[in-house]
Chain A
Amino acid sequence: GAVVSQHPSWVICKSGTSVKIECRSLDFQATTMFWYRQFPKQSLMLMATSNEGSKATYEQGVEKDKFLINHASLTLSTLTVTSAHPEDSSFYICSARGRVYEQYFGPGTRLTVT
């Protein structure tokens, strides 16, 4: 299947700092990328949908000023968690969809805010 990479795979940061997570589709052009968050033993929660070259669409309850998404090219989307707090600690997963409707996930980024 298609390959989606995510970087970093894990990060520990101090409260109040910002963290940027990159998501890349390695062997296909992703017209749409999605960002999810998953807390332990809970299901995936969609945070936002981004299409290349346009503003992201955020799900209800997700602060767009806190979770900045940039989808600058067909192979790269970034999520920046600004002014991170301990409650932002979670598993952040991106996924990418190409021309076919199948969606592939990156390996995830485990964020711990101390």
Chain B
Amino acid sequence: RKEVEQDPGPFNVPEGATVAFNCTYSNSASQSFFWYRQDCRKEPKLLMSVYSSGNEDGRFTAQLNRASQYISLLIRDSKLSDSATYLCVSDSGNTPLVFGKGTRLSVIA
């Protein structure tokens, strides 16, 4: 079983839509979580850190449910520029980050 699992998508949504991605993790020792965004042929860029139950940053809301071991990312009012692959990441502290394979999002005009 993979440590971090994500639906690979693609999610094709119209501009202005709200879209949510879920991610599950298997290592109960994971302490922190992150969402990264990766554009085609570019490096991953940190989108949000999720340390407690969740946090919000503008149109983006991340939530963490430790009991069920899942993290979600909600994007409201989708823009064309939100099209990318979103990587769910868990961190156990002293080991390398564990990346999910990513969820592809395409926002369509």
Question: How many A-B contacts are there with CB distance less than 8 Å?
Answer: 36
Tell me whether A103 and B43 are in contact (CB under 8 A). Answer: no
How far, in angstroms, from A91 to B39 measured CA to CA in the complex?
A: 13
| B-binding segment of A14-22, A60-68, A72-80, A105-113 | A105-113
Residues of B bordering A, CB below 8 Å: 31-32, 34, 41-46, 49, 87, 91, 93, 96-97, 99-102
User: Bound complex: CA of A43 vs CA of B103, how far in Å?
Assistant: 10
Check B46 against A102 for contact (C-beta < 8 Å).
yes
| CB-defined contacts of A1 to chain B, threshold 8 Å | 46
| A43 surroundings in chain B (CB, below 8 A) | 87, 99-102
Which chain A residues in 70-114 approach chain B with CB under 8 Å? 91, 93, 101-108, 110
Complex interface: chain A residues within 8 A of B93 (CB): 101
What are the 8 A-B residue pairs with the smallest beta carbon separation, nearest first? Answer: A105-B43, A43-B101, A108-B43, A93-B43, A105-B44, A107-B43, A44-B99, A49-B96
* Additional A-B contacts beyond A1-B46, A44-B44 (16; CB < 8 A): A34-B96, A43-B99, A43-B100, A43-B102, A49-B96, A91-B41, A93-B44, A101-B31, A103-B46, A105-B44, A105-B45, A107-B42, A107-B43, A108-B42, A108-B43, A110-B41
